[in-house]
Amino acid sequence: MFGGEPGVLRLLNQALGGQAGWLLGFALVGGLGLLAVIRLRRSDPRAGWLIAAGGAFLTIAVAFSRAQGIFHPYYVSQLAPFAAVLVGATVGVMLDRGRAARAIGAAAIVAGAVTEVLVLRDNPGQLTWLSPVLAAASVGAAVLLLAGAIAPRARVAVVAGAIALLLLAPAAWSAQTLGHATNGTFPAGGPATTGFGGGGPMGGRPGGGGGLFGGSDQSLSAAVAYAQEHGGGTIAVSSQTGAAGQLITAGADVAAIGGFSGRESQVTTAWLADAVERGEIRWVLTDTANGMGNDGRIGSSQVMAAVQQVGTPVSAVDGLYDLQGQADALGSL
């Protein structure tokens, strides 16, 4: 549900494929075909366009294919406009009469069918009839384009038919999305079995009694009140979700040092010691750690352990430590 394992085929897996993977094969092969045709000649105005559109497409595709940790599947919607323009440009080339155009068109259609079959394979029970149709029709269309003996109107019909077939699956998922509720935290295209749906097990809101990522608004409220009564200063917490309620409702001086869940940003005791010495952080509330279990990322966990070792505990607020004057002690750990 959070992107799956990094790798070459990650954008086609169960988490991401149905969101933006349908036409990636067509767009990629078509873009490479355009590169072969124009050869990035400075005199060809298409060269700059391909660098911009193709470069953005590759940057996003590589980033999400290699990204570590957690990201939401809907992030890959950033691929959509660049995939769309590459598909459109490829179709324009396919309608030319040259040998290169025929080869690019045939390869792009087959690549598009392959990626769609891979996406459908990782989403069992969805459009089960479509994979064999895609396989047979794409091969047939590729053979017709490579033959080069068909009339111009027939070539247009073959290209239009192939594109229409490749659009069936994404169009079906777009339509299915309208049939069920979703939420703003984990939206996802496709049938109701995709994503978390309306309420979702990860529903929850700032200002409640607690949340998915640990900690509670009550303990932070108490920490904020105590800090304000005892000299003020910034309170560091592990996660963004642990700080959100007070930041939104009270405008409190709270800093989330470990990222969204407390595990995205790895901080060090040396960094915290420096922040304490400069007066940027005085208090640390240690009960806001990630509630999703240990997933291998360190985040703020080591720093929180160091705070508990050298900080002065505040008896009035469970988990709150005063680090005033403790910069050297932190730095020595």
In a domain, 196, yes or no: no
Total domains, the chain = 2
Cβ–Cβ under 8 Å, residues 262 and 239: yes
Contact between 321 and 307 under an 8 Å Cβ cutoff? The reply is yes
pLDDT, tens only, 127-137: 999 999 999 99
Residue 203 pLDDT exceeds 60: no
The pLDDT of residue 129 is 93
User: Which tens digits make up the pLDDT trace of 145-163?
Assistant: 998 778 888 989 999 999 9
Residues 153 and 20 in one domain: yes
Q: Whole domain around residue 77: which residue ranges?
A: 10-177
Please tell me whether residues 91 and 171 are part of one structural domain: yes
Higher pLDDT, residue 26 or 14: 26
Confidence check: pLDDT of 292 > 80: no
Last residue of a domain, one of 146, 177, 208: 177
* Burial degree of 294 (CB within 10 A; 0-12, 13-18, 19+): exposed
Q: Which of 158, 177, 196 is the endpoint of a domain?
A: 177
pLDDT digits (tens, 9 = 90+) for 207-251: 334 454 445 567 888 898 999 999 998 999 988 876 766 565 556
Listing from the earlier edge strand, what are the strands of the sheet with 320-322? Answer: 254-256, 235-237, 283-285, 320-322, 312-313
